[in-house]
């Protein structure tokens, strides 16, 4: 980690990403609350986040743009544009202006997906391959810690001074992030020209995942996992109400426990990846999530509290492991489209799971939903564990063949 932070450009990149996410996380929670205040409708407030998710589905278009441009100059343009994008939220004064929020959030989702992909691609080229695990582990630690603070900050500022300061603050963080990225000294080579139709360029990221066994397997595991996590949006309200018999505000306590577990796990994510690899790091994260879901089904705070923390601990290991593997196994000129494809492949089932979870929690006992979540994450862990074991065995066998093969006529060992 010291070697990573000793690099000036890496410090600037991490700081830019942290500042960017700080403003966004504070604004997002405040927007949902503000829409609820203006309309009195939970559904209208929920549509705020749905509009954002809808915008992120345009990620493949953003990924194609990322692979056609140098990432640092692109981010220096995207961030100020995002700052301008949020300013129309200052015009939202009553329930008739809520459509402004939905329009901005949809565009915000597209901009956020494109910016996130560009940052992932820039990280891949800026950070040495052997330090990618350290970089992703550090980012997860900081971002999970930020999620403990930003929602409280957003809600507090909204209650005290209204939405305006949060909108202007978010715009300012975008500008500051652009300035930090502008100070990065790394100079990228101009991307090679892509002589394909726009549709073929967008599809290439999906094709690369499909034809690369490790990426394909991690994606399947991630899809199973996000379906389980998608149910969390509804089920933990029932855990607090029907299970613990506490008021809805107690969900904030569970959120803090989840965040605490995530921060602690994120701090050791890079060490874990160095010792066992990305595959087993993700498997351990999935096992933590399964155990956390199972404990949350017990109607006692003595089980739910540690279960929530354990579930939170699994998140940074899953995310950091997947991100690191994709960055190590993907060519730099394809990173944008591959990352965008992964985001869509995960985002669609997650959105469906959120909707299905909201419906299921009204029809069946919440413990049944938690049992289904446990099964999904356990199945994901088992699937990835078996594939990771086979992949390692295959690598060892190839190494043994190369070591014992007789010298060829040219003096090299045969690798056939």
Q: What is the per-residue pLDDT across 345-354, written as a single tens digit (0 to 9) for each?
A: 998 898 888 8
pLDDT at 264 over 90: yes
Q: Which CATH superfamily is domain 200-400 in?
A: MFS general substrate transporter like domains (1.20.1250.20)
Residue 125 CA to residue 120 CA, distance in Å, equals 9
Residue 369: which pLDDT band, with cuts at 50, 70 and 90? Answer: very high
pLDDT at 281 over 90: yes
Phi, psi of 407 (to 5 degrees): -60, 145
CATH of 1-186, one of 3.40.630.10, 1.20.1250.20, 1.10.10.10, 1.20.1260.10: 1.20.1250.20
Quote the pLDDT of residue 395: 59
Residue 16: which pLDDT band, with cuts at 50, 70 and 90? Answer: very high
Q: What integer is the mean pLDDT of 358-374?
A: 89
Quote the pLDDT of residue 255: 80
Q: What integer is the mean pLDDT of 63-90?
A: 94
Residue 276 CA to residue 141 CA, distance in Å, equals 19
Beta strand segments in 119-173, E: none
Nearest Cα neighbor of 335 from 70, 109, 76, 117 is 117
* Residue range(s) occupied by CATH 1.20.1250.20 in the chain: 1-186, 200-400
pLDDT at 2 over 80: no
Residue 371: which pLDDT band, with cuts at 50, 70 and 90? Answer: very high
Quote the pLDDT of residue 412: 32
Furthest C-alpha separation in the chain: 81
Q: Left if phi > 0, otherwise alpha if psi is -120 to 50, otherwise beta: which for 339?
A: alpha
Give me the percent of the chain exceeding a pLDDT of 70: 92
Q: CA-CA distances (angstroms) from residue 336 to 11, 109, 117, 128?
A: 22, 16, 6, 18
Q: What integer is the mean pLDDT of 153-167?
A: 89
Quote the pLDDT of residue 194: 67
Q: What integer is the mean pLDDT of 173-202?
A: 83
Q: CA-CA distances (angstroms) from residue 147 to 14, 26, 154?
A: 16, 9, 11
First-to-last alpha carbon distance for the chain, in angstroms, is 39
The partner residues of 407 in beta bridges, in order of sequence, read 413
Q: What integer is the mean pLDDT of 153-176?
A: 92
Residue 383 CA to residue 217 CA, distance in Å, equals 8
Q: Which range has the worst mean pLDDT, 115-124, 302-311, 383-392?
A: 383-392
Give me the percent of the chain exceeding a pLDDT of 90: 56
Average pLDDT, the chain: 87
Q: What integer is the mean pLDDT of 367-383?
A: 96
R_g of the chain, CA atoms, integer Å: 22
- pLDDT by residue (tens digit) across 308-361? 999 999 999 999 999 999 999 999 999 999 999 999 999 889 888 888 887 887
Record the tokens describing residue 154, joined without a space.
């957003």
- pLDDT by residue (tens digit) across 395-413? 565 554 444 444 443 333 3
Residue 253 CA to residue 305 CA, distance in Å, equals 9
């Amino acid at each position: 980690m010291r070697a990573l932070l000793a690099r000036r450009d890496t410090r600037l990149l991490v700081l830019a990403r942290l500042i960017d996410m700080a403003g966004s996380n504070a604004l997002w929670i405040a927007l949902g609350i503000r829409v609820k205040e203006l309309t009195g409708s939970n559904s209208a407030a929920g549509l705020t986040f749905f509009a954002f998710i809808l915008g992120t589905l345009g990620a493949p278009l953003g990924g194609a743009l990322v692979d056609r441009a140098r990432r640092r100059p692109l981010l220096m343009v995207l961030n100020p544009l995002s700052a301008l994008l949020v300013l129309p939220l200052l015009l939202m004064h009553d329930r008739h202006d809520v459509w402004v929020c939905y329009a901005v959030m949809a565009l915000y989702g597209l901009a956020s997906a494109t910016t996130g992909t560009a940052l992932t691609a820039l990280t891949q080229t800026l950070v040495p391959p052997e330090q990618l695990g350290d970089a992703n582990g550090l980012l997860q630690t900081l971002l999970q810690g930020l999620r403990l603070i930003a929602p409280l900050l957003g809600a507090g500022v909204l209650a005290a001074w209204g939405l305006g300061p949060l909108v202007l603050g978010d715009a300012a963080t975008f500008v500051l992030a652009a300035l930090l990225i502008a100070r990065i000294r790394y100079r990228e080579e101009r991307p090679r020209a892509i002589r394909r139709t726009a549709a073929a360029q967008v599809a290439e990221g999906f094709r690369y995942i499909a034809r690369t066994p490790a990426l394909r397997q991690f994606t399947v595991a991630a899809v199973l996992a996000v379906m389980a996590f998608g149910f969390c949006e509804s089920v933990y309200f029932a855990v607090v109400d029907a299970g613990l018999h506490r008021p809805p505000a107690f969900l904030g306590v569970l959120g803090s426990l989840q965040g605490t577990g995530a921060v602690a796990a994120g701090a050791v994510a890079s060490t874990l990846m160095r010792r066992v690899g990305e595959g087993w790091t993700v498997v351990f994260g999935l096992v933590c999530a399964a155990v956390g879901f199972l404990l949350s089904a017990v109607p006692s705070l003595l089980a739910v509290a540690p279960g929530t923390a354990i579930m939170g601990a699994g998140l940074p290991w899953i995310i950091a492991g997947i991100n690191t593997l994709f960055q190590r196994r993907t060519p730099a000129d394809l990173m944008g489209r591959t990352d965008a494809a992964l985001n869509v492949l995960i985002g669609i089932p997650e959105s469906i799971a959120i909707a299905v979870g909201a419906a299921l929690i009204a029809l069946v006992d919440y413990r049944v939903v938690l049992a289904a979540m446990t099964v999904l994450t356990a199945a994901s862990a088992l699937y990835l564990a078996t594939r990771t074991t086979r992949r390692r065995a295959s690598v060892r066998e190839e190494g043994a063949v190369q070591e014992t093969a007789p010298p060829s006529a040219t003096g090299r060992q045969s690798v056939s």
